[in-house]
Each structure stands twice: as C-alpha cells, then as structure tokens.
Structure 1
C-alpha cells in the first residue's frame, strides 16, 4: 500500500468542524487545536489521533468497502472540495 499523497496544504486541519469525527479537535474556530498556522504543520504529528491517520482509518474502517486506490480517490475529492471552499471564502 502506498502512502496517501498529501500535499500538506493544511485544509483538513483548518476545517475539523466539518466532520463529526474531528470536531473534538476544534479550538473553537474550525481549526485544529494542534495545527500551527505559521508553519502549517501539526504540532503533535507523531502522536496525532487515529482519525488523522489516513492509512490506519483505511485499514480499520474502509478496507472491506474500497480498494486503497478508491479510498485515496475519495479522500482526494474531499481535499478538492475543501480547496473550493477556501476559494469561495477569499
């Protein structure tokens, strides 16, 4: 299984309020409490929650539903939707 092709844009970290599974990370403005807006990196990346681990989420919850490539495509669609939301905000 290949790694998820994350481009580290941080959009998922800046919109944790949009998914029930990640709302507990919201610092109150939709941004993850562990996201550093200056460096655009996670401050707890090595110890990040399981929900932030794409590979683990696939193995635990989605491998029986999708191939890895299908799962990656679905996640990349979500990435594109977040990018569109960002454009609309600007």
Structure 2
C-alpha cells in the first residue's frame, strides 16, 4: 500500500461540523464540534489515536479506492472542506 498524504490545511472545518455526517455524529460534544478538537490550537487533541473515520488515507483504502483515484478522492474531499468552511 502506498503511503498517500492528504493535503489538509488544518482549518478545522470538518471538526467543527461533526454533527452533519452520520459517521461522525458520535464525536459531537453537544454543539456540533468534535469533543477532541482544541479550538485554541485548531488541532486534534488525540490526533495519533483519532478514530478511523478521521483518517482520510485509511478511509480511501478501505472504502473508496475501487471507486475513485487518489486524486479524485482528494478533489472530492477538498470540495467538502470548502463547503464546510463556507458555513462558518
């Protein structure tokens, strides 16, 4: 398996909108924000042990590699990032 890197800008938009996706609702601290998101640093407080749903590369290999190329998957994720950023 190639080690692919998702070009995350670390904006935190996905972490601030976990209530919007069924797969991430379990992370909601009650206000739509991930319970592991540090608002001050804009980083995940459990990054090294974050849930599988938060691991973009693993999600690609487990669920999407037969549907999309890595570049297509990145493009789709970046579109989702822009949509979430626009909601703030």
Assess same fold via TM > 0.5.
Answer: yes
Structure-2-length-normalised TM-score? 0.95
Matched, 1:68 2:70: yes
In 2, the alpha carbon distance for the partners of 1:64 and 1:72 equals: 14
1:6-28 CA distances to partner (integer Å, 9 max, x unpaired)? 00000100000000000000000
Q: Which has the higher contact order (CA 8 A, sep 6+)?
A: 2
Q: Could you say what the CA RMSD is over the residues aligned between the two structures, in angstroms?
A: 0.8
Q: Aligned to 1:33, what secondary structure does the other structure show?
A: coil
1:35 counterpart residue number: 37
- The total of aligned residue pairs comes to 86
TM-score normalised to the size of structure 1? 0.93
Structure 1 stretches of 4+ moved >6 Å = none
In the alignment, does 2:75 pair up with 1:58? no
Q: What CA distance in whole angstroms lies between the structure 2 residues aligned with 1:83 and 1:47?
A: 25
2:50 maps to which of 42, 48, 51: 48
Deviations 1:22-72 (A, max 9, x none): 000000000000001011110000000000000000000000000000000
Structure 2 portions without partners, runs of 5+:
none
